[in-house]
Amino acid sequence: MMESLTIFLLFFRALCSMLTSSIAVDTLSPNQLIRDGDTIFSSGGMFELGFFSPGNSNNRYLGIWYKNVSNGTVVWVANRDTPLNTASGLLRVSSNGILRLVSIGNNTNSTIWSSSFSSSSNGTNSVAQLLDNGNLVIREGNRIIWQSYDYPGDTYLPGMKVGKDLITGVDRKWTSWNSLDDPSPGRYVLWMDTNGFPQIFVNRSLVLHTRFGPWNGVRFSGMPSLTTNPTAVNEFVINEKEIYYMIKADSAVVSRIHLNPEGDLTRMNWVNSTQSWLTILVTAPSDSCSPYGICGPYGTCNTRNFPICSCLEGFVPKRPEEWNAGAWSSGCVPRTPLDCGNGNENGFKRLSGVKLPDTRSSWYDSSTNIGECETECRSNCSCTAYADLDIRNGGSGCLLWFDELVDIREYNETQVLYIRMARSELTSKHPLF
Ligand SMILES: *[C@@H]1O[C@H](CO)[C@@H](O)[C@H](O)[C@H]1NC(C)=O
Ligand SMILES: *[C@@H]1O[C@H](CO)[C@@H](O)[C@H](O)[C@H]1NC(C)=O
Ligand SMILES: *[C@@H]1O[C@H](CO)[C@@H](O)[C@H](O)[C@H]1NC(C)=O
Ligand SMILES: *[C@@H]1O[C@H](CO)[C@@H](O)[C@H](O)[C@H]1NC(C)=O
Ligand SMILES: *[C@@H]1O[C@H](CO)[C@@H](O)[C@H](O)[C@H]1NC(C)=O
Ligand SMILES: *[C@@H]1O[C@H](CO)[C@@H](O)[C@H](O)[C@H]1NC(C)=O
Ligand SMILES: *[C@@H]1O[C@H](CO)[C@@H](O)[C@H](O)[C@H]1NC(C)=O
Ligand SMILES: *[C@@H]1O[C@H](CO)[C@@H](O)[C@H](O)[C@H]1NC(C)=O
Ligand SMILES: *[C@@H]1O[C@H](CO)[C@@H](O)[C@H](O)[C@H]1NC(C)=O
């Protein structure tokens, strides 16, 4: 009797120490718990999962951070909206594959965050695993039934996909924190719009703020490169299952892309010799041409000009008085109105060195060439412009615009945009005014 009690007590103490110390594995099984103070880390030692308090806050959040660099910069937070105000958090995975963050109370335990699953579990033993790329996955055997990469926060890590899974409906969007002390969703959202030819936007308080794109086979037109390492490989995929953009992981450099509470998008590379992040600004509010459509339809923006907006050649301000006062949103109209009789009244003006206009009302075909593209555009009077879809190997494919051309800015790009214009505009010279 005494002996069995001793064994029980020894067992109980072993169990307690197992529950309170750091679990030295990357996996959480249904019979294990993570309490506040416990962590698990990825097999290579790159990332760690546990509870933390951001900035000057005392709230407790479940998150993932770098383990061996950068003093633990946080890359993902589970309970962004539902912080714990005590160290009462406990994480477990159920055998049917749902992660639950529970707050332990004196009389009740309440679930404050849980994972959903995008593909259904068959009810066998599932485990949660923190991978060395920072992805927290729930696996059933080798099948991944949920992953944190599908529910991003404010940080893009190489290997994550920006865009949509058309089968499961997962739409991966990045949302800034409210402040450095508060990871709840802030004002800025980075997302992919799949209307027309896909593009990436940043919204500010549900309004379009900045547009990147369209993808030209090498990069997003008019966007500073997201990769600073020339060997980093980008992938842009459109098929019937998914539409996404991805920067492939590169073991030579620890890097992340961060959408901060002020809406700046920065790429950061860890520099071991200085023990700090090297920051490269991708977008900034201080760039006066970055607000979406600042110069209105058929306007073009150049930060080095004063004023920054002008009309495209062959176009004149729609409301000259407003325009001259610096209110550019009504944009420009063709100087010679388009007449679409038999199509021969119109031609196309070649424009290069610009970020291509918004493609939300565009149409594209990767199997044709620029000649067929012109014919296609000429034959439909609502077609306003066309371009190569892909600039590689001398250009291929066809991109057609069917609306006013919006959000053009002068930029060091070689991709050529052909804009529909009255034939008389292409030959005669008009004085500047
Ligand atoms: C951190 O860990 C990763 C993965 O093991 C390794 O590749 C990297 O060199 C480490 N970085 C530092 C600064 O120790
Ligand atoms: C739980 O009980 C302890 C000790 O009685 C008390 O200090 C604490 O406030 C209680 N917590 C809650 C959430 O009621
Ligand atoms: C809350 O969860 C803990 C840990 O699993 C358990 O020991 C305790 O009995 C639970 N409390 C209630 C009220 O269900
Ligand atoms: C459940 O799925 C796992 C992984 O796909 C598989 O190994 C296992 O045999 C399945 N179990 C049942 C009961 O279908
Ligand atoms: C971004 O803003 C546009 C325009 O208001 C809206 O249609 C879209 O749903 C917003 N997207 C997100 C992810 O907030
Ligand atoms: C990082 O720098 C430290 C010294 O500052 C050095 O000891 C360590 O080996 C370096 N790690 C890597 C991965 O280069
Ligand atoms: C990391 O923490 C140490 C000690 O608190 C501090 O001296 C150092 O500046 C920190 N480094 C970074 C990159 O924040
Ligand atoms: C021109 O293109 C628009 C947009 O794709 C389409 O709705 C319309 O039917 C086309 N018109 C002709 C005459 O093909
Ligand atoms: C424009 O880009 C080309 C090739 O990418 C480069 O050689 C050139 O220096 C750039 N010019 C400016 C003004 O940035």
- Tell whether the model's pLDDT for residue 413 goes beyond 70: yes
Q: What is the pLDDT of residue 251?
A: 79
d(CA 428, CA 349): 13
**DSSP 3-state assignment of 342?**
coil
Looking at the 3D structure of the chain, how many domains does it have? 3
In this structure, the answer to whether residues 137 and 156 fall within a common structural domain is no
Enter the pTM of the model: 0.87
Give the position, in ligand 2's atom list, of the atom nearest the Cα of 105. Answer: 13
* Residue 382 Cβ contacting ligand 8 at under 6 Å: yes
CATH number at 54 reads 2.90.10.10
E-state strands within 115-262: 127-130, 136-140, 143-147, 155-156, 161-165, 171-172, 174-179, 182-193, 199-204, 207-212, 234-238, 242-247, 255-259
In which element (H, E) is residue 323 found? helix 320-324
Q: How confident is the model at residue 115 (pLDDT cuts 50, 70, 90)?
A: very high
CATH number at 324 reads 3.50.4.10
In which element (H, E) is residue 63 found? strand 61-66
Whether 8 is in a domain gets the answer no
Q: How confident is the model at residue 121 (pLDDT cuts 50, 70, 90)?
A: low
d(CA 147, CA 32): 19
Whether 75 is in a domain gets the answer yes
What does each C-alpha distance from 77 to 19, 151, 206, 260, 350 come to in angstroms? 22, 10, 22, 14, 48
User: What's the token pair of residue 353?
Assistant: 């060195």
d(CA 202, CA 68): 31
Give the position, in ligand 1's atom list, of the atom nearest the Cα of 67. Answer: 1
In this structure, the answer to whether residues 31 and 131 fall within a common structural domain is yes
E-state strands within 285-325: 299-301, 309-311, 315-317
Q: What is the pLDDT of residue 285?
A: 58
Give the position, in ligand 5's atom list, of the atom nearest the Cα of 173. Answer: 13
Q: What is the pLDDT of residue 9?
A: 42
In this structure, the answer to whether residues 269 and 389 fall within a common structural domain is no
- Tell me the CB-side half-sphere exposure of residue 397, using CA atoms within 13 A: 17
d(CA 340, CA 362): 20
Which residue puts its alpha carbon closest to atom 12 of ligand 5? 206
In this structure, the answer to whether residues 282 and 380 fall within a common structural domain is no
- Ligand 3 first shell, C-beta below 6 A: 104, 107-109
* Residue 208 Cβ contacting ligand 5 at under 6 Å: yes
- Tell me the CB-side half-sphere exposure of residue 263, using CA atoms within 13 A: 20
Per the structure, the complete domain to which residue 329 belongs is given by: 299-426
Q: What is the pLDDT of residue 219?
A: 86
Q: Give tens-digit pLDDT for 199-224.
A: 999 999 999 999 987 999 988 887 77
Give the position, in ligand 4's atom list, of the atom nearest the Cα of 140. Answer: 4
d(CA 33, CA 10): 20
CATH number at 208 reads 2.90.10
Q: Which ligand is nearest to the CA of 70?
A: 7
Q: Which ligand is nearest to the CA of 377?
A: 8
In this structure, the answer to whether residues 260 and 212 fall within a common structural domain is yes
d(CA 426, CA 105): 76
The closest of 233, 231, 228, 225 to 268, measured between CA atoms, is 228
In this structure, the answer to whether residues 159 and 144 fall within a common structural domain is no
The closest of 134, 14, 166 to 63, measured between CA atoms, is 134
Q: Give tens-digit pLDDT for 79-104.
A: 999 999 999 999 999 888 899 999 99
Q: What is the DSSP letter of 396?
A: B
In this structure, the answer to whether residues 138 and 199 fall within a common structural domain is no
In this structure, the answer to whether residues 144 and 182 fall within a common structural domain is no
Contact 44, 25 (CB under 8 A): no
Residue 7 makes CB contacts below 8 A (sequence gap 6+) with none
Which residue puts its alpha carbon closest to atom 3 of ligand 1? 46
